[in-house]
Structure 1
Amino acid sequence: MRTAAKDTSGLLGQAWLRQQLGLAVPPPASEARLFAGARRTETDGDRTIELYPPGYAVESEVVAHLRFALRHEPTDIGIMVAAMKAIDPAVIEGWVLSEPSGAFSRRAWFFYETFVGRMLDLPDAAGGNYVGALDPGRHIVAGRRNSRRHRVVDNLLGGRGLCPVVRRTARLKRQMDLAVDGEARALVAAADPAVLARALGYLYAKETRSSFAIEGETPSAGRVERFVAALRAAPRLDPTDKAAMVALQAAIVDPRYAADDWRDFQTFVGETMGGHREVVHYVCPRPEDVPGLMEGWATLFDRLMDPAIDPVAAAAVASFAFVFIHPFEDGNGRIHRLLIHHVLARRGYSPDGLVLPVSAAIMRDRRGYDRVLEGFSGPLSGLVDWRWTGDREVVVANATGDLYRYFDATAFAEYLHERVLDAVRRDLGEELDFIALFDRALASVRSLVDMPDRRAVLLVQLCLQNDGRLSAAKRPLFAELSAGEVSAIEAAIQGAMAGR
């Protein structure tokens, strides 16, 4: 291949490809740059800047920067696919013919044919060890599927229809090493069966109400019951069955907004300001793209069930990819969070029959939840050409399907790991402890005064809410009790609180 002048403009690899090819995709989460100093890594918010000394400069041509990207960088699938669609196929053909057994040339060839969907004028690879499409040291990858034509291991999380990536960051490695599922199983194993049974009922209700609260809704008792039933049935759901997903949506929304198919209209996520002005936060995929995206989502989902993939990362990728497609008019957010429970249960991460109240943990960190959602929607805002119609409907003028197909899901995996940890240690652990405490306190009260159950329960609740004492304001509710009896009850409850 010809030799070009070294490119000393500053950008390297995928960032260079994005700029030089004019790719209408978000910037990479990890950006490589030349730097007149020693090799080092810097962070800028959620983005990583990899600084390379002048010795890493490469020729000012596409192949040189593709080689750099495949050798040194975690793969930004959005940039990689957009680059393959933008360059002349003869560039890849020439590279492969000059390096037929090269690991980087064969990976580029694999990406081209997989995502462009066009066979290049090349014979099947005859030599070279099999190499992963994604570097498993830099990415969460699926199990081995060999592409014999390229002698490449297709370890992608998804396929051409939908293929997010998850970088193996230091933070994600630490989170996976915590093995929070083991903590959950230990808590369940140590719990009294009667206490556990009561805790489970509470956790299902808490998860349901929290999931609605995230949407700003207060559900009726009937809607709570239907969603609890859906949560309990979540492990048996087949999310790749379109009919099952449509039925699920119908079961959890107001019957007037039940769907019988994927949406066939444009929609967006926004809010009304000042009672009249609508602000758009996120423009959803065009309706004509939804069927293909959901087919891609089904393929992605199947691959995420691979035991090689971290279960929490799998739950994050599946659930967030779903909500970004937004295949229904209503219920997408609740289904998104229900899918988290489905994946954790199906992958054996959640103890049998237990729902980890992830939505409750999200409610305690709404700012973090909104931040990761905006991390996806924000970069898209300048890439989606949309306008209002005269009827105040949104219309998208440009092709945007790939923006929703190929994205970096690392932040979602990290965020969900954080929330699962909080749900186990705070919601599950504290609820089991509280029920055990409540039972001790209630038994103590009953040993002192033979009260009706409802009144004894109320008395214990009021005392536990006030550090073991019945407040003066609540004292008239129990006028039948003497001052001595109240003092004895308070002492007994405080003893229960102290574990005595």
Structure 2
Amino acid sequence: MPEETLEGHLNFALRHENIDLLLLKRVFEAVPSQAIEDIVKATPTGAFSRRVWFFYETLTGKMLALDDAQSVTAVPALDPKLYFTGKEKFSQRHRVRDNLLGTGALCPVIRRTEKLERLIAVDLASKAQATIGKTGGHVVARAASFLLLADSRASFEIEGERPPVNRLERWGRAVLEAGKRPLNQTEIYRLHRILIGDDRLTPVGYREEGVFLGERDHQNEPVPEFIGARPEDVFDLMTALNECNNRLRISDRDDVDPVLQAAVIAFGFVYIHPLADGNGRLHRCLIHHVLAERKFTPAGMIFPVSSVMLDRIDDYREALRGHSAPLMDYIKWRALPSGNVEVLNDTADLYRFYDCTTEAEFLYECVQKTIEENLPREIEYLKRQDEAMRAIMNAIEMPDSLAQQVIIFIRQNDGKFPKRRRDREPLSKLTEEEVAMLEDIVNDVFSGSCHIN
């Protein structure tokens, strides 16, 4: 049991418990600064006291009435055996190696788990490059196009939308540009404008009103499951999130794994919920941004992460709720006549500090599936499609587009040419023997392959 003192409980927490920066800041705000100064003065060269001192000044932004630490061996802020850490910055004042993933303005935490260690060891980026390296450039380009469309469609479907093709293509082009520009307010506004298209009813950029996710009761009163950051806090929080991304993307052998970086930035964004509309889609776009910027994704290609998220929608929602739901008890709000909500207390810290371990595990599993299953499957399908088209056109002369339709019709009808398609021009001109031959070609070529939608 820890000693029944502030020092005893802080010491026990930092040694034996998962670090919770939000809780730690709340403790520091609840006790007199003199209490922290006394801990440091009692053991000025101790590793524990210097870490407490470092966290106090980093999280609260307040300077204690203490001289800089003596010249002793520096200690890490976070134990790198227990946490994924960022590029170290030496804090001379505390003799602490600042290896946090962020700053006092916004700082996520990711714990080292067996699952994450195992996923990182797979080296998925190399797997993707190996898959592409064994494939011709033409097939890779077509696979990239199909995967991009699949991701764009899935990202809208997650939000319950089925937009027209031109909107899908416009958003797809925006996603394909991910990572080519620095992540900052200008880039987020640019992406938001592409997403919204018509800004007459939905303003582009950071919102100036509250936002919530949830239902409405029979009186049309809001019943929120989640409430985003107060509009007056959005700019500072988003600036801190962009600075966090800059801190993590600096090229160095000690960089945070790209997928982990994508998790903390994308999920940090959606927790802040800085936009009036489109937060979910931009959140998923930021995954592509980080993976492209860090060159995890092969040039010219995106992994259809949204497609896997759609397939695992319950797990996706559970990961989001796992963070946001417990915070609702600490948000005081009231319903507005407009049907929106207004937050009545200071909630900025609820969005500054978050444990992103579960979200990182979920995202890594999604990326793993896209690389180990979706990408090879799409390439395999295209190779077989090309083979089937060559065989079809060698047997019966027809346009490429018609040969593609024949393949789709037969595969979608369990290997049989559907009669309603055969009765239409120009396919109605085919003889029974020719139809049977086309069925044999397609079935032979695709024999043993998995079904592709």
If the TM-score is normalised by the length of the shorter chain, which range does it land in? over 0.9
2:439 is aligned, of 472, 487, 490, to 490
Q: What residue in structure 1 maps to residue 140 of structure 2?
A: 196
Deviation at 1:374, TM superposition (A): 0.5
Unmatched runs of 5 consecutive residues or more in structure 1: 1-56
1:383 is aligned, of 330, 333, 341, to 330
Task: After TM superposition, list the pairs within 5 Å mapping 1:250-329 onto structure 2.
Answer: 250-253=193-196, 254-257=198-201, 259=203, 261-272=205-216, 276=220, 278-306=222-250, 307=252, 308-329=255-276
Q: Report the residue type matching 1:247 in the other structure.
A: R
Q: Report the residue type matching 1:283 in the other structure.
A: I
- Find the aligned partners of 1:370 and 1:362 in 2 and give their Cα distance: 9
Deviation digits for residues 269-295 of structure 1, max 9, x if unmatched?
A: 223567956431211111111121112
Sequence identity (%): 38
SS at match of 2:83: coil
Q: Report the residue type matching 2:402 in the other structure.
A: R
Deviation digits for residues 141-169 of structure 1, max 9, x if unmatched?
A: 10110000000011111111111111111
1:365 is aligned, of 299, 302, 312, to 312
- Find the aligned partners of 2:392 and 2:296 in 1 and give their Cα distance: 39
| 2:10 is the counterpart of 1:105 | no
1:345 is aligned, of 278, 288, 292, to 292
Contact 2:222–2:339 under 8 Å retained in 1: no
Contact 1:204–1:355 under 8 Å retained in 2: yes
Q: Report the residue type matching 2:433 in the other structure.
A: G
Task: After TM superposition, list the pairs within 5 Å mapping 1:130-279 onto structure 2.
Answer: 130-240=74-184, 242-253=185-196, 254-257=198-201, 259=203, 261-272=205-216, 276=220, 278-279=222-223
CA RMSD of superposed structures (Å)? 1.9
- In structure 2, the CA distance between the partners of 1:442 and 1:499, relative to structure 1 (3 Å rule), is farther
Deviation at 1:407, TM superposition (A): 1.3
- In structure 2, the CA distance between the partners of 1:276 and 1:480, relative to structure 1 (3 Å rule), is farther
SS at match of 1:143: coil
Deviation digits for residues 38-61 of structure 1, max 9, x if unmatched?
A: xxxxxxxxxxxxxxxxxxx12111
Deviation at 1:427, TM superposition (A): 2.1
- In structure 2, the CA distance between the partners of 1:248 and 1:271, relative to structure 1 (3 Å rule), is same
Q: Does 314-323 or 277-286 show the bigger shift?
A: 277-286
- Find the aligned partners of 2:208 and 2:413 in 1 and give their Cα distance: 54
Contact 1:103–1:128 under 8 Å retained in 2: no
Greater RCO (CA < 8 Å, at least 6 residues apart): 2
Q: What residue in structure 2 maps to residue 480 of structure 1?
A: 429
- Find the aligned partners of 2:152 and 2:275 in 1 and give their Cα distance: 19
Contact 1:107–1:133 under 8 Å retained in 2: yes
Q: Runs of 4 or more off by more than 6 Å in structure 1? A: none
Deviation digits for residues 467-497 of structure 1, max 9, x if unmatched?
A: 4332455443433222222222222222212
SS at match of 2:200: helix
SS at match of 2:224: strand
Q: What residue in structure 2 maps to residue 440 of structure 1?
A: 387
- Find the aligned partners of 1:175 and 1:157 in 2 and give their Cα distance: 20
SS at match of 1:164: strand
Deviation at 1:464, TM superposition (A): 2.1
- Find the aligned partners of 1:84 and 1:302 in 2 and give their Cα distance: 28
Q: Does 164-173 or 250-259 show the bigger shift?
A: 250-259
- Find the aligned partners of 1:197 and 1:275 in 2 and give their Cα distance: 52
Task: After TM superposition, list the pairs within 5 Å mapping 1:372-451 onto structure 2.
Answer: 372-451=319-398
SS at match of 1:282: strand
Contact 1:74–1:135 under 8 Å retained in 2: no
SS at match of 1:270: strand
SS at match of 2:186: helix
Q: Report the residue type matching 1:287 in the other structure.
A: P
SS at match of 1:269: strand
Deviation at 1:332, TM superposition (A): 1.5
Deviation digits for residues 65-98 of structure 1, max 9, x if unmatched?
A: 1111222233111112211222221221111111
Deviation at 1:263, TM superposition (A): 1.5
Deviation digits for residues 427-447 of structure 1, max 9, x if unmatched?
A: 211111111111111111111
Contact 2:228–2:274 under 8 Å retained in 1: no
Unmatched runs of 5 consecutive residues or more in structure 2: none
Deviation at 1:215, TM superposition (A): 1.1
- Find the aligned partners of 1:165 and 1:300 in 2 and give their Cα distance: 12
- Find the aligned partners of 1:437 and 1:314 in 2 and give their Cα distance: 36
- In structure 2, the CA distance between the partners of 1:331 and 1:484, relative to structure 1 (3 Å rule), is same
Q: What residue in structure 2 maps to residue 127 of structure 1?
A: 71
SS at match of 1:235: coil
Contact 2:410–2:418 under 8 Å retained in 1: yes
- Find the aligned partners of 1:379 and 1:364 in 2 and give their Cα distance: 26
- Find the aligned partners of 1:259 and 1:132 in 2 and give their Cα distance: 44
Deviation at 1:341, TM superposition (A): 0.5
Deviation digits for residues 222-268 of structure 1, max 9, x if unmatched?
A: 3223212211211212212x222212211211322454542121111
Structure-2-length-normalised TM-score: 0.93
Q: Report the residue type matching 2:262 in the other structure.
A: A
Deviation at 1:133, TM superposition (A): 0.8
2:278 is aligned, of 331, 338, 347, to 331
Q: How many residue pairs were aligned? A: 443
Q: Report the residue type matching 1:490 in the other structure.
A: E
- In structure 2, the CA distance between the partners of 1:81 and 1:177, relative to structure 1 (3 Å rule), is same
